[in-house]
Structure formats: structure tokens, C-alpha cells
Structure 1
């Protein structure tokens, strides 16, 4: 909604397209059919649900269901810290 965008972001010629990332991605995912059903995940996989609710928003969550579903999406979401910290390990 244009009114919300105008109230949230500074109006300038350089910043013309700005949206709230998570609601926008959820909207697009609902159009495509890949938005995760948080209620169903809460009932079937509490660990994944808690990550989706309290963890960072990552694009892998849109590969859990729907077209082009990726079997490794759950593991990628739950193990992101290991991949993130890997370059910082001393050997």
C-alpha cells in the first residue's frame, strides 16, 4: 500500500522502490504456492517451526513446499550457523 510505504521510507529520487522484505516475500510466495504453512509445521516439526519464527528469514523457507520443493531446505535452515561460521574457524 502506497500510504504505508510513504510513511515508512524517506522520499527521494534515489530510493524509489522500497518494501518490507518479509511481508513482500510472503505475498509473492502465496501467489506462487510456496509459502510455508506455519500451523502445519508447528504441529509436525516444532524444531523447524521455532527456527522459522525466531530465526533469521532465509530464502530456503520458500523451498520447503510448493513448486521446485527442495529436500535439503530443512537442513539448510537448521544448520545455517555452521555454514555461516565456517570461514571464521582457525586451523
Structure 2
């Protein structure tokens, strides 16, 4: 399994079983092809664009707001610090 495919699978798992279990085969296949040893620059460009679109579509299907990421945590800490200073 390629590094890109591994990263893609990890992202799908973070988005929840609804996304990971739908087996976005096209996205995984695109990741495999993109990481292939003989992919030409023009093909890589097309595959990259397609993978970005798959991810955008899958991200819309993912449950939102259940868990925050590091940016959300930093934003919340900053908000609390500012509120305490006022």
C-alpha cells in the first residue's frame, strides 16, 4: 500500500464509518495510480485533480462538528484567553 493510499484511508477513517464503509473505491484507485512508478506528469496532474474532487465530495458526506482538529482547539483557546482579558 502506498503512502498516499495509507493517508487517504486514515482520512476516511477519521471521517467515520459512514464514509470509510462506503468503500470510495474510485478515490483509492486514483491514489494508487497517482503513486504509481510510471505516472507521467500530465497524468499525475489529472489524477491529482480527480482525487481532490473525490475528497471534496466525501468531505461533504462526513458528519460535521463532532470532533475538532488542532486548529479548532487553538481557536477555542484563543477565544477563551481573549474573553478572560476583557
Q: Which has the higher contact order (CA 8 A, sep 6+)?
A: 2
